[in-house]
Amino acid sequence: MRNYEALFILQPSLEEEAIKANIEKFKGVIENAGGVIDNVDEWGKRKLAYPINKVNEGYYTLINFKANPELPRELERIFRITDGVMRYMVINPEK
């Protein structure tokens, strides 16, 4: 298993329950694929470096996890099709 970091930005207009549901959904994807979550760090609402679709804020969340090399591709696919995700990035910090 390799170490990975997934950082994603959710729309700030989402209600608190929707934000929590999305975070739980992404954690479930990782755990159901055999990954192990080390840490979930919710940074909260922060100002974006540049506007995305005329929105200046986003809800940031960082998940550190260990997984097989196939999981990040599946996780990115889930990020791409989930409503409310503005931006995402999955990296292997060891490289």
Q: What is the pLDDT of residue 95?
A: 65
Place of tokens 């990975």: 4
For 41-84, write each residue's pLDDT tens digit: 999 999 999 999 999 999 999 999 999 999 999 999 999 999 99
Q: Please tell me the distance from the alpha carbon of residue 61 to that of residue 18, in angstroms, as a whole number.
A: 14
* pTM beyond cutoff 0.85: yes
Sign of the C-alpha dihedral computed for residues 61, 62, 68 and 69 taken in this order: positive
Main-chain dihedrals φ then ψ at residue 66, nearest 5 degrees: -115, 135
Domain-by-domain residue ranges, the chain? 2-91
Q: Is residue 45 within 8 Å of residue 17, measured between CB atoms? A: no
Which architecture does CATH list for 2-91?
2-Layer Sandwich (3.30)
